[in-house]
Amino acid sequence: MYLAEDRILCFELVMKENAQYVLKYVKSARAETDVPTDFSDLIKQRRRWLNGSFFASVHACINWQRIFKSGHTAGRKWILLLEFIYNAINLLFAWFNVGNFFLAFY
């Protein structure tokens, strides 16, 4: 597991074999965080978040076939498959984003 990345933990819950777990929004939930005290700490935090987000997307793309092993209904499986396709295209564009910027402007 990747350092308790919340996106991967949620993916593992939703894609658990023969289970129908669904994530829901809880309005009354509360969370606390440690706010970065200076700019360098903020940059380090953002770098960790970006790395975690990227590797969570890679993990979801590698394990996409687990959609069909879960216990969800056929309709929900197709919606999850569409979400995977969107995620894969988004990951592909994010990977080449910097290169496309230089091709377009330099």
Catalytic residues: 6
* Residue burial 3-16, b: 16+ Cβ < 10 Å; e: rest: eebeebeebeebbe
What are the phi and psi torsion angles at 17 (to 5°)?
A: -65, 135
Query: Distance between CA atoms of 93 and 80, rounded to whole angstroms?
Result: 20
Residue 29 is encoded by which pair of tokens?
């939930």
Rg (CA), the chain: 17
Q: Which amino acid is at 61?
A: C
